[in-house]
């Protein structure tokens, strides 16, 4: 409160000072229009200095902000160094003189990348090799390099380990101390050959080693069909010809895991006999006026945009991420772009994430069903989604949940309950039904409800059999559909549209207010007469209103005086939805809930919209 009062005082002081200065300037201008008074020039810097001192005294936190403001920015240095670029002749000579002649290419490459990927260890190792003070001792074989040699000993086979030594150098114990010291010396020579030494030949420090970049040794990728011959039996497996002309080979962006490759060529094959086209992720076949498309389950890469391909690692990450985090496609697109795309100036839009989700879902379900999904060629994404659900959806059943069993939902059969109540409550063991106490049974045979203990023990044992329990209920999630009366079709798009494709065409430029046939104003959904209704609708649904003001001012379940009172009846869960008279078609309608069959542990077995 003290700081707040000081800020108010400071504001009034500055305002009065400015008014005084303006008065002095106007008064002096009556005497000389072409001169600026010395008092005015001197007063402004003094006033600013006094104001700054007052702020620093009364607001200590502002001092830190001011100091940070004047601190010079730090420019980040390069975080990676280029890959060692030595001639192959020098490299080959070193390998032949250091290792066995039987050493394999895989072993040599393993050693090469082991050196380049452990630059921090090389910094520590070479520092011990080059003492900078009199009390330090020079060590050719440091514990750091010995630890790397020991890790190699433990992780490669004995056959490969032998090839690291020449015949006359081969130690008796390949994993002993002698072998470790010899291998440490070889690794040190290898690092020196690659130029990975932060110290010069005179022992003086030059520069700390940075992580080695692999950009210069990235492979040149070309995407091709997975089939190498025509799969049609009548073609007597013919070899595939290149369909793409050399001058027209497209170059695309490929996302492989978290790596991004640009200018990747994409090739397409074809069979000259059956006219089938073999692409990277699908095949097309059939007559020219009725072409069919087969989605390949074993495709390595998927096309998700005009010039964007992804591998199956990326597509599975999208599928699992959206399911596990309940994320929208827009949220996942923003996450990926901020995490991986910005450094390569690559931005994935929401629609490409949705395309990836659908493509991977089709192939995942098709693989489980052991079928190849086929549709008409060149379907729009909405039509493809509907077709995939009708073919692979199994009428709402979830195949992956078939046969589910766990301790929460599957138990051994019991002839009697663990607890038999000694009362006349016919509703349940706990005597509660729908949050209401059920009255005791008042009949002539009420006393027969209690089962004596001797009757329970007299029941013959029954062979155990698993008993499963499922719960059929509705999830109130409110999926949207067309706003038109008696229409439950999908929306034309989910970016503000309220009608399906048919009703968008029907209403065209008509005002979206019920029973209004006037033409709507361009850029809005209402005619001039109903612009106030449209403005009120837009204002109530802006991000600042929904996510900002309401969240900032209201706590959960808090009813403040300035809140609008929206009186509405709570829909009973198992009763028919009451008919709502709409005043306009500005927003889509909603289903009340989705009916599901779930196991008690939460696994969804089937669903129905």
DSSP track, 414-444: -SS-S---SS---S-TTSEETTEEPPPP-ST
Q: What kind and span of H or E run contains 162? A: helix 158-162
pLDDT value at position 31?
Answer: 42
When pLDDT is cut at 50, 70 and 90, the band that residue 51 belongs to is low
- Is 271 a domain residue? yes
137 in the same domain as 102: yes
Q: The tokens of 13 are what?
A: 């002081």
Burial 2-23 (b: 16+ CB within 10 A, else e): eeeeeeeeeeeeeeebeeebee
Q: What pLDDT score was predicted for residue 236?
A: 75
Q: Say if residue 385 is in the same domain as residue 249.
A: yes
Farthest CA pair distance, the chain: 122
Q: For residues 118 and 78, give the distance between their C-alpha atoms in angstroms, rounded to a whole number.
A: 18
Residue 399 lies in a domain: no
Q: C-alpha angle with apex 166: 201 to 101, nearest 5 degrees?
A: 100
Do both 133 and 192 map to the same domain? Answer: yes
Q: Are residues 188 and 223 in the same domain?
A: no
Q: What average pLDDT score do residues 321-327 get?
A: 86
Q: Which residues of 147-158 are buried (b: 16+ CB within 10 A; e: fewer)?
A: ebbbebbeebee
In this prediction, residue 554 has a pLDDT band, given cuts at 50, 70 and 90, of: low
Cβ(305)–Cβ(353) below 8 Å? no
Phi and psi, residue 488, nearest 5°? -120, 25
Structural domain contains residue 558: no
Residue 586: other Cβ atoms inside 10 A:
21
Which of 528, 521, 514, 522 minimizes the C-alpha distance to 586?
514
Which structure tokens are listed for 605?
A: 């077995």
Regarding whether 322 and 193 lie in a shared domain, the answer is no
Strand order in the sheet with 222-223: 222-223, 259-266, 251-256, 308-311, 301-305
Say whether 66 sits in a helix, a strand or coil.
helix
Contacts of 498 (CB under 8 A, 6+ apart): 482, 483, 491, 512, 525, 585, 586, 587, 588
Closest CA to 266 of 300, 219, 309: 309
pLDDT tens per residue across span 186-207: 999 999 999 999 998 888 889 9
Instruction: Looking at mean pLDDT, say which of 56-65, 346-355, 404-413 comes out highest.
Output: 346-355
Average of per-residue pLDDT across 493-499:
82
Q: What is the pLDDT of residue 469?
A: 79
Enclosing domain of residue 260: 218-392
Residue 473, SS3 per DSSP = strand
Per-residue pLDDT at 33: 41
**What is the pLDDT averaged over residues 275-295?**
93
Number of domains observed in the structure of the chain: 4
Q: Which residues contact 17 (CB under 8 A, 6 or more apart)?
A: 43, 47
Q: Does residue 344 share a domain with residue 271? A: yes
Q: Which has more pLDDT, 416 or 308?
A: 308
Give the Å distances, CA to CA, from 24 to 12, 19, 50.
18, 9, 20
Q: 247 and 205: one domain?
A: no
State the DSSP string of 288-321: TTS-EEEE-TT-SEEEEETTEEEEHHHHHHHHHH
Cβ distance 231 to 136 under 8 Å? no
**For the ranges 261-275, 435-449, 534-548, which has the lowest average pLDDT?**
435-449
**pLDDT tens-digit readout, 508-550:** 899 999 999 999 999 899 999 999 999 988 887 765 555 445 5
Handedness of CA 11, 13, 16, 17 (dihedral sign): negative
pLDDT of residue 14: 52
Judged by average pLDDT, the poorest of 24-33, 308-317, 338-347 is: 24-33
Q: Does residue 289 form part of some domain? A: yes
pLDDT at 90 > cutoff 90: yes
Give the best-scoring range by mean pLDDT among 54-58, 73-77, 215-219, 426-430.
215-219
Report how far residue 499's alpha carbon sits from residue 505's, in angstroms, rounded to the nearest whole number. 9
Residue-wise pLDDT for 287-297, tens only, equals: 988 999 999 99
Is 478 among the domain residues? no
Higher pLDDT, 142 or 466: 142
pLDDT tens profile 420-438:
656 555 554 444 455 555 5
Q: Which of 512, 514, 536 is nearest to 525 (CA)?
A: 512
For residues 301 and 453, the model is more confident at 301
Structural domain includes residue 175:
yes
On whether the pTM is more than 0.75, the answer is no
Give 394-407 pLDDT, tens digit per residue.
776 676 677 788 88
267 in Cβ contact with 224 (< 8 Å): yes
Q: Is residue 72 part of a domain?
A: no
Q: Which residue has the tokens 């070193």?
A: 94
> What's phi and psi for 4, nearest 5 deg?
-65, -40
The reported pLDDT for the residue numbered 139 is 80
Question: Tokens 């130029």 — which residue?
Answer: 195
Averaged pLDDT, 555-570: 56
pLDDT for 562: 54
Whether residue 316 is predicted with pLDDT greater than 80 in this model: the reply is: yes
Q: Assess whether 271 and 181 both reside in one domain.
A: no
Give percent above pLDDT 90 in the chain. Answer: 40
Q: Which residue has the higher pLDDT, 608 or 144?
A: 144
Residues 381, 427 within the same domain: no
Residues in the chain: 609
Q: To which residue do tokens 């400071």 refer? A: 10
| pLDDT the model gives residue 65 | 45
pLDDT in the model for residue 547: 47
């Amino acid at each position: 409160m003290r700081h707040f009062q000081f800020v108010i005082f400071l504001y009034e002081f500055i305002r009065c000072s400015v008014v005084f200065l303006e008065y002095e300037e106007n008064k002096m201008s009556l005497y000389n229009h072409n001169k600026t008074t010395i008092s005015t020039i001197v007063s402004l810097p003094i006033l600013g200095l006094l104001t700054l001192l007052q702020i620093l005294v009364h607001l200590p936190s502002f001092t830190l902000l001011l100091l940070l403001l004047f601190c010079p920015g730090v420019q980040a240095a390069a975080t990676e160094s280029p890959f060692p670029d030595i001639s192959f002749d020098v490299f080959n000579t070193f390998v032949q003189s250091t290792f066995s002649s039987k050493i394999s290419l895989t072993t040599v490459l393993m050693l090469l990348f082991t050196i380049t990927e452990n630059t921090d260890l090389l910094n520590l190792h070479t520092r011990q090799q080059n003492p900078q003070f009199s009390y330090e001792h020079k060590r050719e074989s440091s514990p750091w390099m010995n630890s790397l040699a020991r890790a190699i000993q433990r992780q490669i086979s004995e056959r490969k380990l032998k090839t690291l030594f020449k015949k006359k150098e081969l130690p008796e114990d390949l994993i002993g101390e002698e072998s470790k010291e010899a291998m440490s010396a070889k690794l040190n020579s290898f690092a020196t050959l690659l130029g990975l030494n932060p110290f010069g030949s005179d022992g003086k420090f030059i520069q700390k080693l940075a992580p080695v970049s692999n950009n210069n040794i990235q492979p040149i990728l070309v995407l091709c069909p997975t089939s190498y011959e025509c799969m049609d039996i009548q073609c007597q497996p013919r070899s595939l010809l290149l369909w793409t002309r050399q001058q027209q080979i497209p170059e695309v962006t490929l996302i492989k895991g978290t790596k991004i490759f640009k200018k990747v060529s994409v090739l397409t094959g074809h069979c000259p006999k059956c006219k089938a086209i073999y692409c990277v992720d699908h095949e097309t076949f059939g007559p020219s006026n009725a072409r069919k498309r087969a989605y390949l389950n074993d495709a390595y890469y998927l096309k998700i945009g005009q010039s964007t391909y992804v591998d199956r690692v990326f597509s599975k990450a999208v599928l699992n991420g959206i399911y596990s985090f309940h994320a929208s496609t827009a949220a996942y697109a923003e996450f990926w772009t901020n995490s991986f795309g910005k450094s390569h100036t690559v931005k994935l839009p929401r629609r490409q994430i949705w395309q990836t989700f659908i493509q991977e879902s089709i192939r995942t379900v098709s693989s489980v069903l052991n079928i190849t999904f086929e549709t008409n060629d060149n379907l729009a994404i909405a039509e493809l989604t509907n077709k995939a659900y009708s073919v692979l959806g199994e009428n709402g059943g979830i195949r992956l949940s078939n046969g589910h069993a766990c301790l929460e939902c599957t138990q051994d059969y019991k002839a009697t309950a663990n607890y038999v109540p000694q009362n006349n409550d016919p509703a349940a063991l706990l005597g509660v039904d729908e949050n209401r106490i059920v009255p005791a049974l008042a009949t002539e045979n009420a006393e027969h409800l209690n089962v004596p203990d001797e009757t329970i023990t007299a029941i013959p044992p029954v062979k155990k059999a698993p008993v499963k329990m499922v719960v059929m209920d509705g999830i109130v999630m409110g999926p949207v559909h067309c706003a038109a009366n008696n229409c439950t079709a999908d929306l034309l798009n989910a970016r503000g549209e309220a009608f399906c494709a048919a009703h968008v065409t029907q209403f065209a430029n008509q005002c979206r207010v019920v029973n209004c046939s006037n033409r709507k104003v361009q850029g809005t959904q209402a005619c001039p007469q109903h612009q106030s209704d449209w403005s009120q609708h837009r204002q109530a649904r802006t991000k600042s209103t929904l996510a900002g003001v309401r969240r900032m001012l209201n706590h959960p379940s808090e009813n403040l005086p300035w809140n609008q009172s929206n009186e509405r009846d709570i829909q009973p869960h198992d009763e028919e939805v009451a008919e709502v008279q709409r005043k306009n078609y500005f927003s889509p309608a909603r289903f009340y809930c989705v009916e599901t069959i779930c196991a008690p542990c939460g696994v969804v077995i089937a669903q129905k919209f």
